[in-house]
A and B are shown apart, each in its own frame.
Chain A
Amino acid sequence: MNDPSTILESQDVAAPTSGTIIDIDDLSFSYDLGKTNTLRNISLDIPAGKVTAFIGPSGCGKSTLIRCLNRMNDLVDTAKVTSGKISIMGQDIHAPDVDAIELRKHVGMVFQKYNPFPKSIYENVAYGLRVQGIKKKSILDQAVEESLQKSALWSEVKDRLNTSALGLSGGQQQRLCIARTIAVKPQIVLMDEPCSALDPIATARIEELIAELQQDFTIVIVTHNMQQATRVSDRTAFFYLGELVEYDDTQAIFGNPSKKQTEDYVSGRFG
């Protein structure tokens, strides 16, 4: 196993392009110090360089699980992994010597409601790099342009980089948040319902962007929109009542799921 200080604390870890990047092994998780498990015995391998979708009805645990992947749940005092483990690039992310802040540099996150900082467009994208101590303007300029290019936002904002990010449309703000996330070059990008607050056109642009980002990042997306899951993802995991019901190629999950519960959910028989 790789030493944590070389895997999750290094700034220059090359993103794996094949094999398993996230290994979730028999994970159970509780929000109330173990009295009740919100997630129960989840095991799944998330492939590198692919898009994996988490689907399931509200309360099934999909957002809880995605927030486990970069230890966002650490912010909840009573949250606790009660069994099992999550390994990212071979490293147990809950190992005592793994720092959650360092982990999040490698596992970025885009949220349901776009949340740009009340700063300029430029400063939003440069923020993560500045936190890392990068001050040189040429490096920041290059990173901002590259991230905005990859987020398909550059042509729309290049002439107003110093204006407030809050003046952008909703779809642009979400793409800016994606640019901010990828500016620090994470290996994994988590997206928790990234389009639920967007109109169809803005949603289509984000979906297009996901397909492009897939070339450089591993993406895990939580979505309530099953057509979106079929369009953007390679693999889909269906969760129900805190358990993983089925995990397979997206085509199989929506074309011929092996579990009746999955079929009933994806075909709109419950939800």
Chain B
Amino acid sequence: MSGHILKNYDDELRFLKNNVLEMGGEVIEALEKSVKGLLQGDREICAEVVDEDEVIDSHEKKIDELGMSILLRFNPVASDLRQVLSSINICRSLERIGDHAVNIAKRSRKILKGALCEEVRLVDPLFIKAHEIVSASLTAYSDVDERKAHQVIKMDGLVDELHRSLSKNLSSTIAEHGGPNTESLLHILFISRSLERIGDLAVNIAEDIVFITSAEDIRHT
């Protein structure tokens, strides 16, 4: 699509998009660090995730400000309006993914305080898929690609399946063995739940991308 008559309108829209992508990069890094801390037994990395969450939060505020400024100054309509509204929505989803990364990091620290718990390894396949789906949603946003957004929505099925399987596995371990690892196993269960929710939030991002490209609201369908 050709540029606007007002060049700074294009600049502001681009700036907004770059900020969302930058925030997405920080969220993915937080997610990577939270699970890395758990799998590598590194409590310092987990602490970094908790400390750095305020950077993600401040990014959210900045994107809100940028979006409001564009709405006020340029009165966007049609796909421009959808881009601004969806970008604000997407940053909301990213902020929540960041919060889940913090939850994972906090629970990881608690797990690492206790006795060695072999079951932490079980989180890895689910983490890989959750990481993949968030990355794919950001690529779809960057490319404004509806086809890629629909692929993200399909990917969530596998994330849900891995979470169900892991939950079942952990529940039977707790029921059968219990013992001193019970608390850690419960933390892993919640980490699994966070990763599953991250998949849902990536789906929300994908739905926003479909709204940008086709003006179709596919939420709750």
Contact B80 A267 (CB under 8 A): yes
Residue of B nearest to A252 (CB): B215
Residue of A nearest to B81 (CB): A255
State the CA gap A270–B2 with chains docked (Å).
9
User: Which residues of chain A have C-beta atoms less than 8 A from B3's C-beta?
Assistant: 269
Contact A263 B4 (CB under 8 A): no
Judged by DSSP, the binding face of B is loop
Contact B78 A257 (CB under 8 A): yes
A255-B215, A256-B215 known; A226+B77 contact, CB < 8 A = yes
State the CA gap A266–B6 with chains docked (Å).
13
Interface size on B, residues (CB 8 A): 16
Judged by DSSP, the binding face of A is helix
Contact B4 A268 (CB under 8 A): yes
Contact B77 A266 (CB under 8 A): yes
Partner of A269, one of B4, B74, B75, B81: B4
Partner of B5, one of A255, A266, A268: A268
User: Which residues of chain B have C-beta atoms less than 8 A from A226's C-beta?
Assistant: 75, 77
Interface string of B1-28 (1 = CB under 8 A from A): 1111110010000000000000000000
| Nearest chain B CB to A231 CB, angstrom units | 11
User: Which residues of chain A have C-beta atoms less than 8 A from B1's C-beta?
Assistant: 260, 263-264, 269
Interface string of B194-206 (1 = CB under 8 A from A): 0000000000000
Q: Is B41 an interface residue (CB 8 A)?
A: no
Residue of B nearest to A254 (CB): B77
User: Which residues of chain B have C-beta atoms less than 8 A from A257's C-beta?
Assistant: 78
User: Which residues of chain B have C-beta atoms less than 8 A from A256's C-beta?
Assistant: 78, 215
| Nearest chain A CB to B8 CB, angstrom units | 12
Contact B215 A269 (CB under 8 A): no
State the CA gap A227–B72 with chains docked (Å).
12
User: Which residues of chain A have C-beta atoms less than 8 A from B9's C-beta?
Assistant: 268
Within A216-267, which residues are at the interface with B (CB < 8 Å)? 226-227, 230, 254-257, 260, 263-264, 266-267
Q: Is A96 an interface residue (CB 8 A)?
A: no
| Nearest chain B CB to A253 CB, angstrom units | 9
Residue of B nearest to A268 (CB): B4
Within B202-221, which residues are at the interface with A (CB < 8 Å)? 215
| Nearest chain A CB to B26 CB, angstrom units | 30
A255-B215, A256-B215 known; A267+B2 contact, CB < 8 A = no
Contact B2 A230 (CB under 8 A): no
| Nearest chain A CB to B208 CB, angstrom units | 15
Q: Is A271 an interface residue (CB 8 A)?
A: yes
User: Which residues of chain B have C-beta atoms less than 8 A from A269's C-beta?
Assistant: 1-5
State the CA gap A227–B77 with chains docked (Å).
9
State the CA gap A263–B215 with chains docked (Å).
13
State the CA gap A111–B77 with chains docked (Å).
28
State the CA gap A270–B215 with chains docked (Å).
22
User: Which residues of chain A have C-beta atoms less than 8 A from B2's C-beta?
Assistant: 264, 269-270
Given contacts A268-B4, A271-B5, 7 further A-B contacts (CB under 8 A): A226-B75, A230-B77, A256-B215, A257-B78, A268-B5, A268-B9, A269-B2
Which 8 residue pairs are nearest across A and B when measured between Cβ atoms? A256-B215, A254-B77, A268-B4, A263-B78, A267-B80, A266-B77, A267-B78, A269-B2
